[in-house]
Structure 1
């Protein structure tokens, strides 16, 4: 008779997009300082915040952390992404829903404040309006009612996935302008934009975003080895298991502090252990290949495809080296001037994919990007050492090449 172990416990790791990690890695000081704003409504430098970083670096998770902290302190939260129609979604749906939750018995008060977009619950309220509805008026009205009912609270606005597309930047700049006017008229608002740095920089260069240029900036990249170990070990502990030290060492080593990969590595190792109370080295080894393959397919391949043709050539020239690359070698490999290389070096560093690595050198900051680029260029052989050049496709006539 076969003895069955107990049912496996659910994984404590969250590799899915936008899911809150059980243990948030790093940025503890920043989280504490921003949370203090929700407790005191004393903004300091935190009236507007820009969160930049790699895909999978934890930007969306950070927004979720802030949203939870704001709600816990009685703040209202407006959360959206920078997709087309942002202004309409916020004015026609989000703000009316918040008003219904906040003050369902305050129709006359809201009308006197000049609220422009009312949900069906408010349509019976008599009101007159001679001017076009403005987001700034709605935010001021919402902030005023909130202050009467919940003193020392405010409104947190988080906008994710900032894009540098021209149409989206125009709408985002209008959105930012309305927020700046509302803040200027006394509304208690903290606004947080998140995206890749080059896209955030493009937003700052646009019209009507002057107040955002004084924002506090948070840069999300890789966790330190100690932070990575803490996230893995603490998540496993909270989940109800233990992990062998050599298994933990391997997970830390191959996840390279990349937050999305940390969650993938832990999740695969946890599931490999099934109902066992301990994650072993064999489980960590089973997770290794699966996690790297998954991150290459889901993140790194898309990052590479998003790069311009010259950016791709730049990283391909870097990938020749299995470590840091000399700028002088890039000049030679690309056949361009040093000044030209410096322009693309700056772009890729600001995007978070490349980092300066000593005087006159660069290296990849996105783990496994170099490996992925090399794998695309390689002619991977069969077990007999013979690659595809020894296996040409048949011609359509069947007579060979």
Structure 2
């Protein structure tokens, strides 16, 4: 099934049905769908956090492979998966797509983030909620195990154990009694804080014991690479070191164009070639920015059946300001003082930067610079760009750093608008 067919299928059965209910004829020129009243058609782009995009860019082979596990229960290396990548690269959207695919194949899905209290939320809230949604026959079998106490209507009441409940026991019991399906667990926003890592390590240990007990479980962790690497260094996460690893970076220009063009076509509109080229160039393959710039272009003249160069120009200005405010400024704030010195040294160049120049600008040893180079590459914000060179991999980060440096170097103004309105004397 093509991406377009898959998207139209989701439109027909999901929340898009209300939006696109008025679509009633095919535009034979573009192959897309033409709305009767274009101004009432909702944007097909999804720039919000964690929202599943209508057209997903990249990682098709990996997504197909993982989806096949949901159908066959033939796990191979896919019992555990680590998804790394910079912010806005599509990690959370990937988790959402995996959850949807698992549910379509009858799997149970446990979805949470790595914040404090994960184990308790899963055992005391997520699993009881799953129990209440199971078929009565399955709940009857589970009630007979004496693990959970159910009432006469087979609704969860409480745990019924003399010993401390364990997540591994819950997962094994659920897996054995849900038929030809498994359990997908997705944990987003992995953090490298010591307390969080200890809890994640304990959680991972329980899952590994469940796998050893024969449970059909796939667990997926998502986060920035440095945080996932810190998780792998914990004492109880040995099995995660053999995980399938997906690294989410920027899309290729070809894939970026496909996402934009296909989303617009499915939405029922067309786009001028020059406008499409402009949007591809602005987005730089950064998945969040692809959705954002597409959304702004769509909304600029929503009643027009064709997105124009003028729409793309407006989207360009709005999207860059938005991504710098929402993502890049936070990335910069999260950097350590030395990391900032490194990117400030890089930002003096408008292309790639030579490591020896960064060494001179920072006034430190080459070995010292290599430590921060490696760390910034692991975050996904910087990439190696030929022998002895680095470049920014997060679009517009260099521009932002340069603007911060210029702002810092500007002289402080001696007057402001309120100088002409001095406060009245105190009484």
TM-score above 0.5, yes or no: yes
**Distance in 1 of aligned mates of 2:84 and 2:149:** 32
Deviation for aligned residue 1:316? 0.6
Aligned-partner Cα distance in 1 for 2:192–2:343: 22
Match of 1:43 in 2: 75
For the residue of structure 2 that corresponds to 1:190, the secondary structure is strand
Aligned equivalent of 1:70, options 84, 102, 105: 102
SS of the residue aligned with 1:187? coil
Q: Is the 8 A contact 2:85 2:247 kept in 1?
A: yes
Structure 1 segments unaligned to the other structure (5+ residues): 381-386
Instruction: Give a deviation string over 1:337-367, Cα, whole Å, max 9, x none.
Output: 1111111100000100000000100000000
Structure 1 CA distance, aligned partners of 2:147 and 2:140?
10
Shift, 1:392, TM fit: 2.3
Matched residue SS, 2:39? coil
SS at the partner of 1:131?
A: coil
Aligned equivalents of 2:149, 2:363: Cα separation in 1: 58
Given candidates 301, 310, 333, the residue that maps to 1:282 is 310
Hey, what does 2:10 align to over in structure 1?
none
Distance 2:333 2:104 in 1: 40
How many angstroms apart in 2 are the aligned matches of 1:124 and 1:347?
Answer: 47
Distance in 2, matches of 1:127 and 1:116, equals 5
CA shift for structure 1 position 102: 1.2
Return the alpha-carbon distance in structure 2 between the equivalents of residues 117 and 196 of structure 1: 40
In structure 2, distance between residues paired with 1:52 and 1:8: 37
Task: State the match for 1:83 in structure 2.
Answer: 115
Q: Which residue of 2 aligns with 1:383?
A: none
Q: Structure 1 residue aligned with 2:402, among 364, 367, 374?
A: 374
Indicate if the aligned counterparts of 2:89 and 2:288 stay in contact, CA closer than 8 A. yes
Find out whether 1:16 has 2:44 as its counterpart: no
Aligned to 1:109: 141
Aligned residue among 201, 205, 221 for 2:249: 221
8 Å CA contact retained: 1:20, 1:64: yes
Contact 2:328-2:397 within 8 A present in 1 as well:
yes
Query: Which residue of 1 is the match for residue 261 of structure 2?
Result: 233
Of the three residues 54, 59, 81, the one matched with 2:86 is 54
In the other structure, the counterpart of 2:34 is none
Report if the CA contact (8 A) 1:114-1:137 is conserved: no
Alignment equivalent of 2:170, drawn from 135, 138, 143: 138
CA deviations 1:309-328 (Å, max 9, x no partner) are 11111101100100111110
Give the SS at the match of 1:363.
strand
| Equivalent residues of 1:96, 1:118 under 8 A apart | no
RMSD over aligned Cα atoms: 2.3
- The more displaced of 123-132 and 55-64 is 123-132
1:189-222 Cα shifts (integer Å, max 9, x gaps): 0000000000000111112101001000000000
Please, which of 254, 269, 293 is the counterpart of residue 297 of structure 2?
269
Q: What is the TM-score with the length of structure 2 in the denominator?
A: 0.85
Unaligned runs of at least 5 residues, structure 2: 1-36, 421-427
Cα contact 2:257–2:280 (8 A) shared by 1: yes
The 3 A distance-change label for structure 1 pair 120 and 82 is farther
Out of 373, 383, 391, the position equivalent to 1:355 is 383
Compared with structure 1, are the counterparts of its residues 119 and 28 closer, same or farther at alpha carbon in structure 2 (3 Å cutoff)?
Answer: farther
Q: Does residue 242 in structure 1 map to residue 279 in structure 2?
A: no
Instruction: Tell me which residue corresponds to 1:310.
Output: 338
Alignment-derived partner of residue 31 in structure 1: 63
2 CA distance for matches of 1:239 and 1:360? 45
